[in-house]
A and B are shown apart, each in its own frame.
Chain A
Amino acid sequence: MSAFTRRELLIAGSAALAAPLVSAQERRFDPQPGAWRSFETTTRVEVQNAKGATRVWLPLPSVDSDYQKPLEDRWTASSTEVRLVADPKDGTKMLVAEFAAGTTPVVELTSRFQTRSRAHDWSRKAGAADDADVLKRWLAPSDLMPVDGIVRDTAQTATKGAQSDVDKVRALYDWVVTNTYREPKVRGCGVGDIKAMLETGNLGGKCGDINALFVGLCRAVGVPARDVYGIRLVPSAFGYRELGGNPAKLQGAQHCRAEVFLKEHGWVAMDPADVGKVMRLETGEWIKDPAHPVVAPVRKALFGGWEGNWLAYNTAHDVVLPGASGGKLGFFMYPQAENTNGRYDALAPDDFKYTITARELAA
């Protein structure tokens, strides 16, 4: 009779197999702007319980830059009243579909685009300029992002002693990484208002909050900054489960990144929220030390870069949806729909019945 039960042998065996995969020493996260990758996303919306006329709005890839190139948007719908519009103010593109009463609203949007990773070369300094009005825009407060009061106080304290804008941003990035996943003082849910997040010490809001907090703090000390709203597409090539998406089911994979404008570097990628996500969720334990071997490479690379397995929809705040009776959106990275009952809850995809999938296209 064996000294071990079959169960014990199986457990020992699987532990041995698992060990190399979670070895802290081998974690690497080093996205580099190499070849362009081509993707296609498909967003399919079927509105349940449509009462009366229904409107649907879908975000389109609107960011055209050195890290992303929108290619083409196509759609099919159970209505002919479908159009692609661009906001004259900031170029934010969206699909707007209107369905008459008595029809079952269905719309399927396919977007093709190219992305690549970002990794800023900090040694390369060039006097970067952007339009003064543009920069003013990215210093201004928005509805969910006040930059006075506790926001300014927190930012000033965190950046004490910092001289250059790069130093300030580094201080704020580190502050967000170390502070945003501490235990909240108040057990509650925010709606993304960064003042409430700071007042209650509850920094894990509904969505897009941590980077919104980072952006607000930067603006409060005079560094132009913006959120970039988008969605993850495929798993990370570096094996970090929390930094990728499941292409078969991307509803819920929406993620907002950030950018800061630095005088000698231009617009630079930032994503302290994803550093926090790795700390909180990547392993079985909540890692509190940003220098931990699993966290350190991510913390380094997301200061100035990010991986190109993510689509940037837009950088829009306080978005007006054409034809909507509901109010402005703080941000637009989820499908939206409205009927005579009012606006659907964009964060409950089963009620709203939408799916988002992606596939990578051959080069």
Chain B
Amino acid sequence: MPRMASSVIDRSTRRAWLRGAMGMSFAVFATAHAQLGYDVQPWVGATPPLRLDDLDGRPLDLASLAGKAVLLNFWASWCEPCRAEMPSLERLARRREADGLLVLAVNFKESVPTVRRFLERTPLAFPVVLDRDGAAAKDWQVRVFPSTVLIDRTGRARGVVRGEMDWEGDAADALLRPLLETRTRI
């Protein structure tokens, strides 16, 4: 192999590593986002199940969404950063629906009337389910709101974004790309 400048080798090595990692590691994003009010953690361990009722009492099972990439957004109406990111999450949902992305919002421990009232003021284009007793948040280790779990097309959680994020920016695009890969990995 001809001698190349070390920086070129580093770049190509890094690209190869990223391709190889292919969504397995989100560590590359973590420090870059430290100043922006959110962090990204890789998912460790198994993906919990999720089966919760929507506002009309109809159950929604995460497993039934396999084939789509899912952003599982845990939120509460009293949480100002949750409310602040809703518009960009909503626009993302509309824009990327055709690509196979679904946003599923999980409300934390609020009553049906409270959530209904919020949705009347702020209609959302994606489904909302209710975690009435907080058990789902506990299963998914969510302790900060908003938290958005990034789930790939095979139904596997790959990472979680903690804190308010701009879902229409480049950083969000970079996080979504590995989820939306049509090539699914075992």
Contact = CB atoms under 8 A, between A and B. Distances in A.
Interface of A: 49, 184-191, 193, 195-196, 200, 202, 206, 326-327, 341-345, 347-348, 351
What are the 9 tightest A-B residue pairs by CB atom distance, in nearest-first order?
Answer: A196-B143, A187-B37, A186-B163, A189-B79, A188-B144, A188-B163, A187-B164, A193-B143, A187-B81
Contacts of B162: 186, 188, 200
Interface string B37-48: 111000000000
Interface string B103-126: 000001011111000000000000
B145 interface: yes
A145 to B, nearest CB: 12
Given A200-B144, A200-B163, A327-B134, A189 B81 contact: yes
Could you tell me the dominant secondary structure of chain A's interface residues? loop
Nearest to B165: A187
Contacts of A195: 143
B156 to A, nearest CB: 23
Residue of B81, B82, B143, B147 with most chain A CB atoms under a 10 A cut-off:
B143
A50 to B, nearest CB: 11
A342 B79 contact: no
A196 B143 CA distance: 6
Interface of B: 34, 37-39, 76, 78-82, 84, 108, 110-114, 132-134, 143-147, 162-164
Given A188-B162, A189-B76, A200 B111 contact: no
B82 A189 contact: yes
Contacts of A327: 133-134
Contact of B37 (A184, A193, A196): A184
B112 A188 contact: no
B111 A206 contact: no
B113 A196 contact: no
A348 B118 CA distance: 13
Contact of A345 (B37, B78, B134): B78
A341 B81 contact: no
A186 B134 contact: no
B126 to A, nearest CB: 20
A188 B78 contact: no
B114 A189 contact: no
Given A186-B38, A341-B111, 18 more contacts: A185-B34, A185-B39, A186-B37, A188-B81, A188-B82, A188-B144, A188-B146, A188-B163, A189-B79, A189-B80, A189-B81, A189-B144, A191-B143, A193-B143, A202-B163, A326-B133, A342-B111, A348-B78
A227 B11 CA distance: 53
17 contacts: A185-B34, A185-B37, A185-B163, A187-B163, A188-B146, A189-B79, A189-B82, A189-B145, A190-B145, A191-B143, A200-B162, A200-B163, A202-B144, A202-B163, A341-B112, A342-B112, A351-B114
B154 to A, nearest CB: 28
A49 B113 contact: yes
A336 to B, nearest CB: 13
A187 B38 contact: yes
Nearest to A202: B144
B111 A345 contact: yes
A184 B133 CA distance: 27
B39 A186 contact: yes
B144 A186 contact: yes
A342 B80 CA distance: 23
A186 B37 CA distance: 4
Contacts of A206: 78
A189 B39 contact: no
Contacts of B37: 184-187
A325 to B, nearest CB: 10
B132 A200 contact: no
Contact of B114 (A186, A326, A345): A345
Contacts of A342: 111-112, 132
| Residue from B38, B78, B162 having most chain A Cβ neighbours under 10 A | B162
A343 B114 CA distance: 11
A12 to B, nearest CB: 38
Contacts of A343: 111
Contact of A196 (B108, B112, B114, B144): B144
A196 B164 CA distance: 15
A161 to B, nearest CB: 30
Contacts of B34: 185
A326 B164 CA distance: 29
A185 B31 CA distance: 11
A188 B113 contact: no
